[in-house]
Copies of this chain bind each other. A is one copy, B any other.
Amino acid sequence: MYQPHPALRKPITAADRVLQEIQRAIVDGDMAAGSKISEPELARRFDLSRAPLREALARLERCHLIERIPNAGARVVKLSTTGLLALYQLRENLEGLACKLAAEHMSDDEITEVRQLLDQHLSSQRVREGESYYQEAGDLDFHYRVILGSKNSYLINILCDELYYLVRMYRVQLGMNGPRVSRAFDEHKAIITAIANRDGELADLLMRRHIAASRRNIELQLEQMGT
């Protein structure tokens, strides 16, 4: 699965491992949204003490996958339409900025790599038509690369470490796939082209549209589930 981001932090601690496991469990819906998190129970389940577990919980709160109340415990975050809207409002803006900065700061080599990545996605997509999971990963891969290309450490931290698990949670639990998949590839192509042309303004615009389209797609899915 996706590491926080090309993290230099080599030594992997017990807290890291349990963090990844719980992250995956929440994103995939194995831990029900809104359900209470019991520290003693999780400690038993993952066979470690509460100290590293609490470290993991602190980081889960940081990426908005759980909500903690002092002395009262933590709960798995609940998906909501307003939450989705707020999240994507922010994403449009931040990833737009990331594109603008990427157009300024990405090296030619990095751009070439992203293009190769897209070609690779296209071929693998043709093979596994409709396979939602790999598309999901591929899409995030593209966004990751662009975000890293911004070279703004705070922006990278917010998008890759703090917001993306939530984004994935919405996508995974709402079962995103369908016809938007192929269109998304075209939009990715257009974005990297704008970046390659060092046209930050256009790259910004295209990314905002790309994310807005994705948001509408998810909103639709949410409404569908509501009825």
Please list the residues of chain A having a beta carbon within 8 angstroms of any beta carbon in chain B: 9-13, 16, 51, 54-55, 58-59, 62, 64, 69-71, 83, 86-87, 89-90, 93-94, 97, 101, 152-155, 158, 162-163
Partner of A155, one of B83, B86, B153: B86
Count of this chain's copies in the oligomeric assembly? 2
Q: A153 to chain B: which residues have CB within 8 Å?
A: 83, 86
Q: Are A93 and B90 in contact (CB under 8 A)?
A: no
Q: A101 to chain B: which residues have CB within 8 Å?
A: 89
Q: With the chains together, A163 CA to B94 CA distance in Å?
A: 15
Shortest CB-to-CB span from A74 to chain B, Å, is 12
Q: List 21 A-B contacts (CB under 8 A).
A: A9-B69, A9-B70, A10-B70, A11-B70, A12-B70, A13-B70, A16-B70, A54-B55, A55-B58, A58-B58, A83-B153, A86-B153, A86-B154, A87-B154, A89-B152, A90-B152, A90-B154, A90-B155, A93-B94, A93-B97, A158-B162
Contacts A86-B152, A87-B154, A90-B155 supplied; 11 other A-B pairs, CB < 8 Å: A11-B71, A12-B70, A58-B59, A83-B153, A86-B153, A86-B154, A89-B97, A89-B155, A90-B154, A93-B97, A94-B94
Q: A154 to chain B: which residues have CB within 8 Å?
A: 64, 86-87, 90, 163
The 6 A-B pairs with the shortest beta carbon distances in the complex, nearest first, are: A58-B58, A11-B70, A86-B152, A93-B97, A11-B71, A90-B154
Closest to A93 in B: B97
Shortest CB-to-CB span from A168 to chain B, Å, is 15
Q: With the chains together, A9 CA to B67 CA distance in Å?
A: 11
Q: A11 to chain B: which residues have CB within 8 Å?
A: 70-71
Closest to A54 in B: B55
Q: A62 to chain B: which residues have CB within 8 Å?
A: 62
Closest to A156 in B: B86
Q: With the chains together, A55 CA to B9 CA distance in Å?
A: 19
Q: With the chains together, A94 CA to B94 CA distance in Å?
A: 8
Q: A90 to chain B: which residues have CB within 8 Å?
A: 97, 152, 154-155, 158
